[in-house]
Each structure stands twice: as C-alpha cells, then as structure tokens.
Amino acid sequence: MISSNIVWHNAAVSSNERRAQHGHHACVLWYTGLSGSGKSTIANAVDRLLFERGCHTTILDGDNVRHGLNRDLGFDEVSRIENIRRISEVSKLMLDAGLIVGTAFISPFMADRAQARALIGSTFIEVFVDTPLEECEKRDPKGLYQKARKGEIKHFTGISSPYEAPVAPELHLRTAAQSIEATAAEVVAYLERMQFIAPLEQD
C-alpha cells in the first residue's frame, strides 16, 4: 500500500519539450516470445538502427534485469508477474524521459502484458516475436530447453509453463521466415509509418 505521505511531483520538463529536443516520439517496443525466439537479438538490431539515426533509445533485457533490479525474483508464476510489473514501471519512467524503450522479456501471460499496456498507454507497441517451439529448441543457445526436458528447470515457458501468444499485437514478426536484418527493418518501418520517428530523407 502506498503511504499517504507520498506526493506525486510533476516534472519541470514536459513530454513535448523532450520530443522537440530528441526529434522523435517516445514509445515502448515490448518484444514478447519464447526463449530463443530472437527477442534480444531483434531488439538490439532495431536499437542499432535507431541509434544510427540519432534516436534516443535504451533496452531492458530479461537476463540483464535479473542480474540487478530483479535478482530477488524466481521463475514461479508470482515472481514472473512481479518481474513484468517492475519492468513496466521502469519502462514508463524511461518513456517519460523521452526515450524509445525496447524491452525483451518472454512475458508469457496476456494479463501481465495487458497491465503493462494499461500503464504505458497508447505508446505501448506489442511486438510478437513468433518463432515455433521446435525452432527455439533447435537454436537453444543457453541449453535451457534440454534442461527443461530433463526436468532440471521448473516453470519453463513452452515446456512446463504456458505461453499465451498475443491475439492482436501491433507487430507480428515471424523470425523463421526472414533474416534479423529484415525483421529489424520491419520494426523501424512501423515506427516511421506510425510517425514515432521521421523517415530518412532521400538523397
């Protein structure tokens, strides 16, 4: 429960002022998908493209966040819900700072993603990194699926814990059918189309 002694302080710099200085709109690119689907790889490829265009960006990665902010959380359902709640709040703070925020988390439950959307608002962009389970298992860069199949990892999404796929994401990426470069370009093209960023000027 929030103490009655805590008062919200409004920022001296408005969102419009930050937008004018940065030259683009702030938003949250919420990448969701199975482990090994390519979320972090795509998020970083998009971040590089945006950075090279002078955009102000940052990335929140699932593994990285669990090294610090969320190091006290496990992988049971209650902990995973809290993990996403905290990330949503951090994303909102970074959004208020005028950044384009990329978040790469499995975030398997629809209800949690809906809460993130409700908190962040109209600048929440759900990006479904749709990679078949068999392809994720084939990649298995961390050897996690193999351990999960052996029962060595509990509550593993896609094996012993469900993944609730987005029904109507803003972006639906099918990584098994195209390259990382093409997929990242698709995300950037969406941001241009929705006028979050300006298109590149033609020579």
How far from 38 is each of 16, 189, 202, CA to CA, in Å?
33, 19, 31
Phi, psi of 136 (to 5 degrees): -65, -40
| 158, 115 Cβ separation under 8 angstroms | no
Q: What is d(CA 158, CA 70) in angstroms, rounded to the nearest whole number?
A: 22
Strand order across the 100-104 sheet: 57-61, 100-104, 27-32, 124-130, 171-174
Q: Is 107 a catalytic residue?
A: yes
What ranges in the chain are assigned the alpha helix state H? 15-22, 39-52, 62-67, 77-96, 110-120, 133-139, 144-149, 180-193
Q: Looking at 107, 122, 160, 161, which residue is catalytic?
A: 107
Nearest alpha carbon to residue 109 among 81, 145, 88, 86: 81
Q: What is d(CA 144, CA 56) in angstroms, rounded to the nearest whole number?
A: 33
The residues annotated with a catalytic role in the active site are 107
